[in-house]
Amino acid sequence: MSSHNWSTSDIPDLSGKTIIITGANSGLGLEATKAFAVKNAKVIMACRTVSKGELAKAQIIETYPAADITVVRLDLSDLTSVHSFSTKMKQSQTRLDVLLNNAGIMMVPYGQTVDGFEKQIGTNHLGHFALTGLLLELLKKTPGSRVVNVSSMAHKSGVMDFNNLLYDNGKDYSPMKAYGRSKLCNLLFTYELQRYFEANKIDCKALAAHPGFSDTNLFVHMATKWIIGLFKPLLSLIIQPASMGTLPELRASVDPNAKGGEFYGPDGRQELKGYPVVVQPKRTALDKESARKLREISEKLTDIKYT
Ligand SMILES: NC(=O)c1ccc[n+]([C@@H]2O[C@H](COP(=O)([O-])OP(=O)(O)OC[C@H]3O[C@@H](n4cnc5c(N)ncnc54)[C@H](OP(=O)(O)O)[C@@H]3O)[C@@H](O)[C@H]2O)c1
């Protein structure tokens, strides 16, 4: 096995490639935007708040004036917004090399998306499921395209319950349980999508990645954020900078040797930090029957069919 530490210097030249990144204005998505723009990709920052995206873009342009970046509004917690974003993409773009489904929220109190879905599963899974389905046309047109879903080690605590997938009316809800389930959904969806591409002989790959434990804005909504503040000095021993945390999703997106169905994460102890390598999900994430059911329910809820 090679002991080479894969890093941004391994990213090939991306001239002529178009990459969409969700949640591109902050944390891992922002680091990914920089890394791809520097390698000459056309990057579309899909952000729920355009002003935040424009600010992030301006900062990148200051350092890399040649960066080709466009900010477009996308709110994954609102299917109307997902439709409108996808329509804009289909009208303005002729190809889509990488769809990096990176955006996410974590451990928020019970709430619902505009369409009435529990917020974490609605945003982290259903929003991306709908987006990917609507962008299939562009992905299919682009030889060797990829979809990369960003999961988490928290998928290991996730449990599927198809009788109450969305914690209806808050029944049995806990912020951690719902986050874990949403991240398990990201993996089930990835493997199901890869099977869909293979069965239909579509030249597109589905991969997943997780960033270990990375210093981003993700923790700001946690009820326990005071604990994070209290233990910050201790946490700094295990937490890695966002620029390292983004490496698994970068590798899954552009390493020419990466294969469909692979899951990338950090190589350090308990996958908390380190350089990106292929890692293994928990066994239930590979369950085909759960993945099939999730696809069926997701198609029904979003009214978007993978044909
Ligand atoms: N950081 C970690 O240690 C860690 C660990 C495991 C997994 N992850 C995963 O990594 C991914 C990136 O998170 P991060 O750590 O970089 O956190 P972050 O800094 O909070 O970034 C999350 C991004 O998602 C966007 N977003 C949230 N809700 C959205 C919506 N409804 N529509 C569109 N965009 C939305 C946020 O936009 P706003 O700026 O407008 O809020 C932000 O740009 C997430 O999927 C997360 O689950 C992170």
- Quick: pLDDT tens for 56-92: 999 999 999 999 999 999 999 999 999 999 999 999 9
The residue to mutate among 77, 84, 216, 221, having the most atoms of ligand 1 within 8 angstroms of its beta carbon, is 216
Q: Say which range, 153-162, 174-183, 211-220, 238-247, has the weakest mean pLDDT.
A: 211-220
**Domains (range + CATH), the chain:** 8-302 (3.40.50.720)
Report residues whose beta carbon is within 6 angstroms of any ligand 1 atom.
22-23, 25-29, 48-49, 52, 74-77, 102-106, 123, 150, 152, 210-211, 213-214, 216-218, 245
Residue 115, pLDDT > 60, answer: yes
- pLDDT surpasses 70 at 229: no
Question: Please, which pLDDT band fits residue 236 given cuts at 50, 70 and 90?
Answer: confident
Q: Is residue 10 predicted with pLDDT exceeding 80?
A: yes
Of 20, 21, 28, best ligand 1 pocket probe by most atoms within 8 Å of the beta carbon: 28
Cα 254 to Cα 27: distance, rounded to the nearest angstrom = 19
What's the gap in Å between 66 CA and the centre of ligand 1? 26
Residue 179 annotated to the active site: yes
Distance 260 CA to ligand 1 centre (A): 24
Atom number in ligand 1 closest to CA 215: 1
Average pLDDT (271-285) is: 97
Q: Which residues of 276-286 are buried (b: 16+ CB within 10 A; e: fewer)?
A: bbebebeeebe
- CB neighbours of residue 133 within 10 Å: 21
Identify the pLDDT of residue 234.
Answer: 73
Nearest residue CA, atom 6 of ligand 1?
152
Beta strand spans in 92-179 (E): 98-101, 145-150
Residue 219 CA to residue 228 CA, distance in Å, equals 8
- Residue 43 · residue 250 · CB < 8 Å: no
Atom of ligand 1 nearest to the CA of 124: 45
What is residue 228's predicted lDDT score, i.e. its pLDDT? 64
Burial 197-212 (b: 16+ CB within 10 A, else e): beeeeeebbbbbbbbb
1 band by pLDDT with thresholds 50, 70 and 90 = very low
pLDDT band for position 235 (cuts 50, 70, 90): confident
Catalytic one among 64, 110, 167, 179?
A: 179
Q: How far is the CA of 27 from the centre of ligand 1 (A)?
A: 7
Query: Which residue's CA is the closest to the ligand 1 atom numbered 43?
Result: 23
Give the residue with greater pLDDT, 119 vs 218: 119
Token couple for 66:
């040649």
Confidence of residue 50 (pLDDT cuts 50, 70, 90): very high
